DNA sequence: CGTTTTTGACCAGCGC
DNA sequence: GCGCTGGTCAAAAACG
């Protein structure tokens, strides 16, 4: 994978944190525009008070065992078997909803799979706007459901609503207007285009989080 | 009820 | 060809 940059999200500001060779000043991360690359956000939730849907993906060792046992089956049977197993566990369906932080776009979920190779669940989303082909995928490990990676693919043909939505004069999403440049070779060619607004207010569980941003340049 | 999510089916690509 | 995998579709279910 390409270059990476780590940011700390606290309160209403997004600060750069120790990019290897960069200025130590707290430069606001950029969130904007002219996106043509895909990139990956890794959310490490430091705290999520209350019942956040992510935690509902936790599994007991028995469940994992049942999953592994089923992994040799054909078709999409690994998922099937797991769900069957969990059915006997008497759990509420609504508590199993995956919740992702708002990012300024509206998405439609169109699939979910358990990816055998990497042992993770992956959800597929497509931008709701007609004519826009942007997509994103979210994946998480069964054992670490609070650690979610969101990969954004493609470019939006429209703006994010995050620019306009405000609460008492304060943008719901942080929107510092600068740009991130990769620290590898690719940066000479282009800056990392971020078409996402990092959510702050809109996700109470993101009050403190580490966000890793990976450029997928080659 | 209209809208969104879930989830098995379907499909394309790949290794054999 | 066959079987497996990851990505997508779409019908049914769930949601509000
Ligand atoms: Zn879009």
Q: What percent of chain A has pLDDT over 90?
A: 5
The reply to whether A96 has its C-beta less than 7 Å from any atom of strand B is yes
User: Is the torsion defined by CA of A1, A193, A129, A41 positive or negative?
Assistant: positive
Give the residue from A87, A104, A105 showing the smallest Cα distance to A96: A87
CA–CA distance, A171 with A177 (Å, rounded to integer)? 13
Q: Dihedral (C-alpha) A16, A19, A23, A25: value to the nearest 10 degrees?
A: 20
Ligand 1 being an ion, which residues bring their Cβ within 5 A of it? Answer: A 127, 129, 132, 134, 156
What phi and psi values does residue A46 have, to the nearest 5 degrees?
-80, -30
What phi and psi values does residue A198 have, to the nearest 5 degrees?
-70, 125
User: Which H or E element spans position A83?
Assistant: helix A77-87
ipTM of predicted assembly, 2 dp: 0.92
Q: Residue ranges per domain, chain A?
A: 1-51+97-218, 54-96
Q: How far is the CA of A45 from the centre of ligand 1 (A)?
A: 26
pLDDT band of A160, cuts 50, 70, 90:
low
Q: Between the CA of A141 and the C1' of B6, what is the distance in angstroms?
A: 20
Q: Between the CA of A82 and the C1' of C7, what is the distance in angstroms?
A: 20
Q: Between the CA of A126 and the C1' of B16, what is the distance in angstroms?
A: 34
Please compute the mean of the pLDDT values over residues A194-198 and round it to a whole number. 38
Tell me which of A28-42, A100-114, A143-157, A176-190 is least confident.
Answer: A176-190
Please compute the mean of the pLDDT values over residues A55-80 and round it to a whole number. 42
CA–CA distance, A153 with A107 (Å, rounded to integer)? 13
Residue A3 near residue A215, CB atoms below 8 Å: yes
Please compute the mean of the pLDDT values over residues A87-111 and round it to a whole number. 60
pLDDT band of A25, cuts 50, 70, 90:
very low
User: Which H or E element spans position A69?
Assistant: helix A61-70
Nucleotides of B under 7 A from a protein CB: 4-10
Neighbours of A30 (CB within 10 A): 20
- CA closest to C1' of C10 belongs to A110
A214 pLDDT more than 60: no
Neighbours of A115 (CB within 10 A): 12
Write down how long chain A is: 218
- More reliable by pLDDT, A72 or A39: A39
Q: What is the pTM of this model?
A: 0.59
What's domain A1-51+97-218's superfamily in CATH? Answer: WRKY domain (2.20.25.80)
CA distances A116 to A25, A35, A68, A83, A156, Å, are 42, 31, 9, 15, 30
DSSP 8-state code for residue A68: H
A122 pLDDT more than 60: yes
What phi and psi values does residue A48 have, to the nearest 5 degrees?
-145, 85
Neighbouring residues of A185: CB distance < 8 A, sequence distance ≥ 6: none
Half-sphere CA count of A20, side-chain side, radius 13 A:
7
CA–CA distance, A59 with A160 (Å, rounded to integer)? 36
């Amino acid at each position: 994978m390409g270059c990476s940059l780590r940011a700390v999200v606290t309160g209403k500001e997004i600060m750069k944190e120790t990019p290897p060779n960069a200025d130590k000043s707290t430069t606001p991360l950029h969130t904007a525009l002219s996106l043509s690359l895909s990139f990956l956000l890794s959310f490490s939730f430091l705290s999520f008070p209350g019942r956040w849907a992510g935690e509902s993906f936790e599994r007991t060792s028995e469940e994992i065992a049942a999953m592994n046992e089923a992994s040799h089956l054909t078709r999409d049977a690994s998922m099937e078997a797991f769900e069957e197993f969990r059915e006997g566990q008497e759990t509420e369906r609504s508590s199993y909803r995956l919740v992702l932080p708002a990012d300024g776009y509206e998405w439609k979920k169109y699939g979910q799979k358990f990816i055998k190779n990497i042992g993770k669940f992956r959800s597929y989303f497509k931008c709701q706007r007609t004519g826009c082909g942007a997509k994103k995928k979210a994946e998480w490990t069964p054992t670490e459901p609070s650690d979610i990676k969101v990969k954004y693919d493609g470019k939006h043909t429209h703006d994010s609503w995050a620019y306009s939505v405000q609460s008492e004069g304060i943008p719901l999403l942080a929107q510092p207007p600068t740009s991130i440049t990769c620290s590898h070779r690719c940066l000479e060619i282009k800056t990392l285009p971020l078409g996402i607004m990092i959510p702050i207010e809109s996700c109470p569980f993101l009050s403190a989080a580490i966000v890793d941003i990976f450029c997928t340049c080659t």
